[in-house]
Amino acid sequence: MEQQTSIRTSLQLGIYKIIDPFVKLLIKLGLTPNAVTSIGFVLNVGVAAIFIIGGEDGDRADLSYVGWAGGLILFAGLFDMLDGQVARLGNMKSTFGALYDSVLDRYSELIMFLGICYYLVAHHYFLSSIAAFIALIGSMMVSYVRARAEGLGVELKGGLMQRPERVITIAVFAIACGITSSYLGGDYKLYIPGIKFHVFESMTVFTLPIAVLAVLTNLTAFKRLTDAKKALAEKDEQ
Residue 7: what pLDDT? 61
> Stretch 128-149: mean pLDDT, rounded?
94
Cα dist. 62→8, 66, 70, 78 in Å? 35, 9, 14, 27
Distance CA 148, CA 154 (A): 9
Residue 204: what pLDDT? 94
Kind and range of the H or E element at 189?
Answer: strand 189-190
Which residues are CB-contacts of 13 (< 8 A; sequence separation ≥ 6)? none
Distance CA 58, CA 65 (A): 8
Distance CA 106, CA 115 (A): 14
The one-letter amino acid at 187: D
Range 18-22, long-range pairs (CB < 8 A, 24+ positions)? 19/78, 19/81, 19/82, 19/85, 20/85, 20/89, 22/82
Residue 30: what pLDDT? 85
Collapse the DSSP code of 159 into the 3-class scheme (helix H, G, I; strand E, B; otherwise coil) and give the result.
coil
Cα atoms found within 13 Å of the Cα of residue 20, Cβ hemisphere only: 9
Phi, psi of 157 (to 5 degrees): -130, -5
Structural Rg of the chain based on CA atoms: 20
Instruction: Check if the beta carbon of residue 139 is closer than 8 Å to that of residue 109.
Output: yes
Is 0.85 topped by the overall pTM? yes
Cα dist. 223→112, 138, 144, 152, 160 in Å? 25, 12, 13, 17, 9
pLDDT digit string, tens, across residues 62-88: 999 999 999 999 999 888 888 888 888
Confidence of residue 237 (pLDDT cuts 50, 70, 90): confident
